[in-house]
Amino acid sequence: MLVAAGFFVLTWLPDSAPSFRQIGKPIVGDVKWAGDAVLTELDGRTVAVVAHGNQAQVWDLAAGKRHSTSIVGDDIGLISVLAAGQLNGRPIVVSNADGALVRMWDLPTGEPLGNFVGVGYSIALGQLNGKTIAVSGDRLGRIGVWDVAAERLPGTLLVGHRRSVYSVVLGQLDGKPIAVSSGDDGTVRVWDLAAGKQLGAPLVGHIGAVRSVAVGQLDGRTIAVSGGDDRTVRVWDLAAGKQLGAPLCGHTDVILSVAVGQLGGETIAVSGGDDRTVRVWDLAAGKQLGGSLTGHTGEIRSVAVGRLGGETIAISAGGNDGTVRLWGLGPATVP
């Protein structure tokens, strides 16, 4: 499961307009800054790993309190991006701070496991040829595919973006492992990881930088969902290499993060950004579901969707307001 991409299987979509709500009080870390946030599991419990300053703090969402584990980055600066996964069956987190080294941590203990010789403005974790890989994009438009266990590049750099790569996620297309990336050059690009090359032409349509991308399924098609400086959410058919439908409009400022999931058999996207709102989208219908989720007083740096007990949830990290908020979207099974 690629939690950095925000792709979870959900199972409920109401016939009437949904009633979303905030669950509990906002999560507040030791530093008034909440950057990237990912959902994963630790000891069988759903946890949020949140970048608070130079630390990545772990929060037990069911208990509503901080887990004993913290990942301390010391002098590496503000942690800007995170990804969670497994290495040899053990939960791990990879992080990047201010475009410096990509670092790897043992999630249960918070102990460092190593560094990658390179930089990353965006990170995803997954599998390639039976090995755990980290895929990272940098300010020069390059994408590195790292063998996590060996802490090295197993192949060549993927080159195509003309400027910074802001987001990268992993998925499957026609049974092949792929990466999907977006960046400051206004494009979304699809990469064949086994072949080490770009698939098709860049996906264009956004005006300005594309800040975030996620992958999922819609009506049997592998899709990407993107958001960026033009304040729109766009859906792409990756096999056909084209945009599906009209842009989804509603945000009044830059979109910084998108996530994709399934709710009651319907594909949804969740987005957040500089307008301080979280929005949920029905991608098949091409419209927003319910009202905007509000409460943050800073820009929303990151969103993710998942499941907590019997309920579908979303989380959002609020940048300068220093908080992470937990949102209830509805029952995770049919009532």
Nearest residue to 116 (alpha-carbon basis) of 78, 90, 143: 143
What are the structure tokens assigned to 121, written together?
A: 């403005």
Phi and psi angles of residue 4, each rounded to the nearest 5 degrees, phi first? -60, -30
Query: Letter for the amino acid at 244?
Result: L
Nearest residue to 217 (alpha-carbon basis) of 265, 271, 257: 265
Class of domain 3-331: mainly beta
pLDDT number for residue 100: 63
The Cα–Cα gap between 120 and 99 comes to: 6
pLDDT number for residue 264: 74
* Residues whose CB is less than 8 angstroms from the CB of residue 17 and which lie 6 or more positions away in sequence, other chains included: 289, 290
What are the structure tokens assigned to 265, written together?
A: 């058999």
Q: List the Cα angle 24/9/242 in 5-degree steps.
A: 115
Q: What is the pLDDT along the chain (335 residues), one digit of tens a residue?
A: 333 333 333 334 444 556 799 999 999 887 788 889 999 999 999 999 999 888 889 999 998 889 888 777 655 567 888 999 999 999 999 988 766 678 889 999 999 888 765 567 899 999 998 999 999 999 999 999 988 888 666 667 899 999 999 999 999 999 999 999 999 999 999 999 999 999 999 999 999 999 999 999 999 999 999 999 999 999 999 999 999 999 999 999 999 999 998 777 788 999 999 999 999 999 999 999 999 999 999 999 999 998 898 788 999 998 889 999 999 987 755 55
In this structure, the strands spanning 8-9 and 255-263 are parallel
Question: Is residue 148 a contact partner of residue 125, using CB atoms and an 8 Å limit?
Answer: yes
Question: Is residue 268 a contact partner of residue 14, using CB atoms and an 8 Å limit?
Answer: no
Nearest residue to 56 (alpha-carbon basis) of 25, 87, 77: 77
pLDDT number for residue 14: 46
pLDDT number for residue 334: 52
Whole-Å CA distances, 330 to 263, 277, 300, 335 = 9, 19, 22, 10
| Residue given tokens 């072949």 in the structure block | 195
The Cα–Cα gap between 13 and 265 comes to: 7
